[in-house]
Amino acid sequence: MDKRLLLIFLAFIICTASIAQTKRKQKKIDKVIEQARAYIGTPYVYGGTSTSGLDCSGLIFNCYRAIDIRLPRTAEEQSKIGNTKSWGSIRPGDLVYFKFKEKRNKWYHSGLITAVNGDDIKFIHASSSRGVVESSLNTDYYKSNVKKFKRVIK
């Protein structure tokens, strides 16, 4: 076989495999976001992990379990998993972690990025006052308390 033809064939195989891998990754991201959206309206329950009530880390725990990724149960422990990303490189499916201080106590909160359209970034989370909702990350309250972003789906 001609070497040029062989190189073209190998490039085709590699490209095809890369496209298939990208499609599999996108399906996982879509499934995690779909799972999160199915919880919208679920009430907040500290330590909860069911449709009758859940907290922020329970939401993330359940959504990633739907694609067979086992995360730790708490937001603080979950925030140690995956690759850290910057504001400019986040995408849907990434996780956002917040660190708040209230009455000298630090507490962690987590959410799932659902859409990135320039500066308009949406995320789903379990709000202690509103239950599971989709919110804008660009509000001063959330934006100023972002601790980090993590990518679990590679």
Catalytic residue among 56, 59, 95, 112: 56
**Is the alpha carbon torsion for 123, 73, 35, 55 positive or negative?**
negative
Q: How far apart are CA 92 and CA 96, in angstroms?
A: 11
Catalytic residue among 125, 126, 137, 149: 125
**Is the alpha carbon torsion for 44, 50, 51, 57 positive or negative?**
positive
Catalytic residue among 44, 54, 58, 109: 109
Look up tokens 């000298």; give the residue: 104
- 154 included as an active-site residue: no
- 126 included as an active-site residue: no
- 3 included as an active-site residue: no
Active site residues: 56, 109, 125
